[in-house]
Amino acid sequence: MSIESEKDLLGLMRIGRIVGLCLQEMLQAVKPGTTTAELDAIGEQFLSGHGARSAPIITYNYPGWTCISINDEVAHGIPGSRVIQEGDLVNVDVSAELDGYFADTGASLPLPPIAPEVQMLCDCTQEALQAAIDAARAGARMNAIGAAVERVAKQRGVNVIRELNGHGVGRKLHEEPRNVFNYYTHRAKDRLVNGMVFTLEPFLTLGSGRIYTDKDGWTLKTQDRKLGCQYEHTIVVTEDAPILVTAV
């Protein structure tokens, strides 16, 4: 979507704050011995308590309020009986709707003992997200975002998962632009304009970057079983630094 009024911005910021706070509450509850279903229940209680609805449920009939992916699961992990273990890399992705507005955020959390390469991957992915934020300015080309993410990844010797990218959001969970690429492509040459709303979410991995869909029909995993990492914000483009809708 594009921001067309003060009402649009206020509505987007309201749901953005809710999903941002929900993400933080869920991350604080991540610990060994907790099941992903128990973690998802925290998200359900928080979102419903604020009058928000799970975007994956209302959009895709997804079997969970949030997506919780662990280790080689890079996205769309279904909450269930899986028990979180010491040393796991846990990703939580929260997206929700309130009063017709959608926002989407996510983060990865490594649990002790944290191997140096795991910490490096998390640091690199956060650095890539910041580079994407810095590149998202009105007047810049869309592919400047992907170039920034890819540059950080190459500097650290990790790979971009090219099948997973950011996307337009606001009035729907997924809308135009359909792909905010995490790598440079000449196809993404459109100029960013004030008021554009989309997610920035680099997906990086210690492996090759190739993924597949698990037999559950939802969970995306790395083919080589290497770790995947993601951090995400919904943003509004301005001529200066973008508005981080989901920052809290």
| pLDDT, average across residues 79-96 | 98
CB 55 within 8 A of CB 67: no
Whole-number pLDDT of residue 68 = 98
Domain count of the fold of the chain: 1
Q: pLDDT > 90: what percent of the chain?
A: 100
Whole-number pLDDT of residue 47 = 98
Whole-number pLDDT of residue 31 = 98
Length of the chain: 248
Q: What is the pLDDT of residues 106-116, one digit of tens each?
A: 999 999 999 99
| pLDDT, average across residues 239-248 | 97
Give the tokens for residue 215. Answer: 């037999």
Concatenated DSSP letters of the chain: -B--SHHHHHHHHHHHHHHHHHHHHHHHT--TT-BHHHHHHHHHHHHHHTT-EEHHHHHH--SSSSEEEETTEEE-PPPSSPBP-TT-EEEEEEEEEETTEEEEEEEEEEPSS--HHHHHHHHHHHHHHHHHHHH--TTSBTHHHHHHHHHHHHHHT-EE-TT--EEE-SSSSSEEEEEE-SS--TT--PBP-TTBEEEE--EEESS---EEE-TTSS-EEETT---EEE-BEEEE--SSSPEETT--
178 occurs within a structural domain = yes
Please, which pLDDT band fits residue 120 given cuts at 50, 70 and 90? very high
Whole-number pLDDT of residue 167 = 98
CA 53, 69, 217, 146 torsion-angle sign: positive
Please, which pLDDT band fits residue 199 given cuts at 50, 70 and 90? very high
CATH number of the domain enclosing 213: 3.90.230.10
**What domain range is 26 assigned to?**
6-244
Whole-number pLDDT of residue 174 = 98
34 occurs within a structural domain = yes
1 occurs within a structural domain = no
Instruction: Give the whole-angstrom CA distance, residue 165 versus residue 55.
Output: 18
198 occurs within a structural domain = yes
Whole-number pLDDT of residue 247 = 98
Please, which pLDDT band fits residue 229 given cuts at 50, 70 and 90? very high
Whole-number pLDDT of residue 21 = 98
Instruction: Give the whole-angstrom CA distance, residue 235 versus residue 64.
Output: 25
Please, which pLDDT band fits residue 86 given cuts at 50, 70 and 90? very high
Output the average pLDDT for the chain: 98
Q: How many CB atoms lie within 10 A of CB 28?
A: 10
| pLDDT, average across residues 122-141 | 98
